Amino acid sequence: MSALLLPFATRITDSNLVSPDEVPRGAACNCLCPGCVRPVIARQGTEREWHFAHAKGGACQQGYEVSIHEIAKQMIRQRRELLLPALDIEISATDSFGLRIEERMHVLNAKTVHLDECKTSKKRDEVTADVAGRVADREILVEITVFHRLMPEKRDRLIATGISSLQIDLSEFKVSQATRAKIEAALFENAMNRHWLHHPRMEQARREAQTKLDAKLEQRRAEWQLAEEKRQEEHSKRRQELAEFQFSRPSLLDRPVESITSNRMLFGNEAMWRASFPTRENVFRASQLT
């Protein structure tokens, strides 16, 4: 796979993130790298996709990721539009049979909302959200990730605000060259790359789902108990039958030798070995013949 190209740069005149087709060619673009804040040039060739490149030296490590992260925030702020994810609660447990059972509860469908207010990099309580929007009297916080996952500490701080919070995952651009059209589609059309970190209805839905799951577990426990009682009953019955059979079966040593001889095939090698000795009558007859 070829190296990912810098798709956006910061225009000095207004500090907006722009694409190469929005500015003059070369150094006349008057732009800086969003990562290292060094001058870049706009390359508008015929063989490669249009992109920005550092005017001097090699590309910086963070320029590509920062450019995607910042333009995503800018797009939401400029459009004042946010695609909210569906809210589904899923919990699971292992039942008495050792099987995994699940309980799912659908709470909300995905939908697009218009933001009455929208600010980027806004500090709220002890956390700075990438995007903070407002719909009527409800506030929504948005965290956008590209190369790196959302750290647990920041996630916990977002949840602690008690404000509806969601995460948008743009990690697809770690392996796919980003363009304005692709990022717009990822932000405003794809409801599968985001999830709720906190929602006012989440805890109530989780409690309801847990109640239903507990009822299933109790039913499975009762079924297992009934099955276990039947197994114990069958086991006891088999043990009783075996004991009765062993009690009624005559011992090999209690039988006369003649009986063993006539029935030697029923008792295996021991009976055959004992039957191989001559009886006293046969020994007496043989002594008379000699």
pLDDT tens digit sequence for 106-145: 999 999 999 999 999 988 888 999 999 999 989 999 999 9
183 falls within a domain: yes
Q: What is the dihedral of CA 117, 133, 34, 150, to 10 degrees?
A: 180
pLDDT of residue 126: 85
Largest separation between any pair of C-alpha atoms in the chain: 137
232 falls within a domain: no
144 falls within a domain: yes
pLDDT of residue 58: 77
Same domain, 106 and 181: yes
SS3 for 52-73, per residue? EEECCCCCCCCHHHHHHHHHHH
Structure tokens that stand for 254 in this block: 């209690």
Same domain, 29 and 137: no
pLDDT of residue 237: 87
Rounded CA separation 97/197 (Å) = 33
Rounded CA separation 115/111 (Å) = 13
Q: Are 146 and 65 in contact, with CB atoms under 8 Å apart? A: yes
164 falls within a domain: yes
Same domain, 87 and 202: yes
Instruction: State the residue range of the domain holding 50.
Output: 9-61
233 falls within a domain: no
Q: What is the dihedral of CA 193, 197, 203, 206, to 10 degrees?
A: 40
Same domain, 26 and 137: no
Report, as ranges of residue numbers, the positions in the chain whose pLDDT lies below 70: 1-2, 249-290
pLDDT of residue 278: 58
130 falls within a domain: yes
Number of Cβ within 10 Å of residue 136's Cβ equals 7
Same domain, 39 and 131: no
Residue with tokens 């948005």: 142
Same domain, 198 and 139: yes
Q: What is the CA radius of gyration of the chain?
A: 40
Same domain, 85 and 195: yes
Query: Degrees (nearest 5) of the Cα angle 33, 144, 161?
Result: 130
List Cα–Cα distances, 57 to 30, 38, 53, 113, in angstroms.
17, 10, 9, 44
pLDDT of residue 9: 97
Q: Are 184 and 83 in contact, with CB atoms under 8 Å apart? A: no
pLDDT of residue 264: 47
Number of structural domains the chain divides into: 3
Same domain, 181 and 106: yes
